[in-house]
Structure 1
Amino acid sequence: MKIKKNKQKKIRITGGFLRSRVLHSVNKINIRPTRNCVKQVLFNWLQNHIKNSLCLDCFSGSGNLSIESISRLAKLVIALEKNYVLVKKLKKTIKFFLIKNISVFNVNTIKWLKKTGKPFDIIYLDPPFNNKLLLNLSIKYLEKYNWTHNNSIIYIEHIDNNIYIPDNWKLIKKKNIGIVSLSLFYKSKII
């Protein structure tokens, strides 16, 4: 009798000094980590912006984008995640990889964004797909509470194209992979 092995979700870093390293398992947790093909597209788009950048990873989940950013020489990443188990796993991975410049917060992202912040160079928005309200509130609060500056780059992974986008966010890249839309925005001054 053959025993069927459960296929594990292996999340690999696709570039930089941590390339090919595997993040701690996130099996038995209902998340949708950013696929490698999506990460390749995203970080090709960001290749001229990531080095020495300050990044905010909203809804960080496994920390996939946070660690990928550090591997590609971002200066600092703040990772926000509500799920305590995921936060624990991410902190374990960070410690194992000897990463010092990722700060992980076990918080509700919306509550975090509802206070005045300091602007980030790159912001990742990848909330649960079935929650358009969460995405729209995040975008609204990023603008309202000073989390962006003129020149911030905002990455949004979504399935619904009918989302709120501020007038001063200019779409610079867009790609569809299956049902997923990848959108990259640049915040500019309103003229």
Structure 2
Amino acid sequence: MRIIGGKLKGLRLNPPKNLPVRPTTDLAKEALFNILQNQIDFEEIAVLDLFSGTGNISMEFASRGAAQVTSIDRSQQCIYYLKDTSRQHGLDQIKTYKADVFKYLQAETEQYDLIFADPPYDLNRIPEISKTVFEKGLLKDGGLLIVEHQSMQNLSNHSAFVEQRKYGHSSFSFFKKIL
């Protein structure tokens, strides 16, 4: 696992083996950020990273200049690892919170330019993520929600769905708040 762009490009991340995670592969992450690079200006955006795990995605956004990255995970071990690693590398814009993602979304009132969610693939509540994000108005105008999920799962029945990109067994579904 490594940072693929920005000021920390090439940094290898070595999280403890006992973390309860399934990190986004470097191949899928690189493909995702190639797509995003052509759609958004990373500088000064506010990002919400749900099910942040090792913080791989949070650190990638911070490395590329995101002004604010809020990382949510229910594992205290993951939160400690991300907090410690981001502090070591001067990524002060990353704020971590130990919380259940669904409870957090229900209570959240801030709006974001981009929300990324990488829930456990076997979680049966994945479709609730897009529903809650849009019902609660958590995206700024033109904002993106990206949900990583198993390729066999279809999330296209939400009105804000834009497209699904497949990378082997993993897919990214994109949702956009229309201006």
Identity of aligned residues (%): 27
Aligned mates of 2:158, 2:48 — CA distance in 1: 18
- Asked if the contact 2:48–2:112 (Cα under 8 Å) also holds between the matched residues in 1, the reply is yes
TM-fit CA distance, 1:183: 2.1
Q: Give the alignment's TM-score, normalised by structure 1.
A: 0.86
Deviation at 1:111, TM superposition (A): 0.5
1:72-111 alignment runs, 5 A limit = 72-111=64-103
- CA-based RMSD of the aligned residues comes to 1.6
Greater than 4 Å deviation, 4+ residue runs: none
Name 2:22's counterpart in structure 1. 32
Letter in structure 2 aligned against 1:82: R
Report the alpha carbon displacement of residue 184 of structure 1 after superposing the two structures with TM.
2.2
Q: Does 1:145 align with 2:136?
A: yes
The whole-number CA distance in structure 1 between the counterparts of 2:177 and 2:84 is 34
Q: Give, in whole Å, the separation in 2 of the partners of 1:90 and 1:28.
A: 14
Measure, in 2, the Cα distance between the counterparts of 1:67 and 1:165.
31
**Could you tell me how far apart the structure 1 residues matched to 2:43 and 2:169 are?**
30
Distance 1:127 1:86 in 2: 14
Amino acid in structure 2 at the alignment position of 1:55: V
Q: Distance in 2 between matches of 1:24 and 1:89?
A: 10
The superposition leaves residues 84-125 of structure 1 with CA deviations (integer Å, 9 ceiling, x where unpaired) of 011111111011101110100011111000124121001101
Q: Which residue of 1 aligns with 2:12?
A: 22
**Superposed displacement of residue 137, structure 1:** 2.0
Q: CA deviation at 1:24?
A: 4.0
Hey, what's the Cα distance between the residues in 1 that align with 2:23 and 2:94?
A: 18
Structure 2 unmatched ranges of 5 or more = none
TM-score, length-scaled by structure 2: 0.91
Larger radius of gyration: 1
Q: Tell me which amino acid in the other structure corresponds to 1:158.
A: H
Q: Are residues 151 and 165 of structure 1, via their aligned partners in 2, closer, same or farther at CA, if it must alter by over 3 Å? A: farther
- Equivalent in the alignment of 1:155: 146
Whether the aligned pair in 2 keeps the contact of 1:76 and 1:102 (CA below 8 Å) is: yes
Aligned residue in 2 for 1:61 = 53
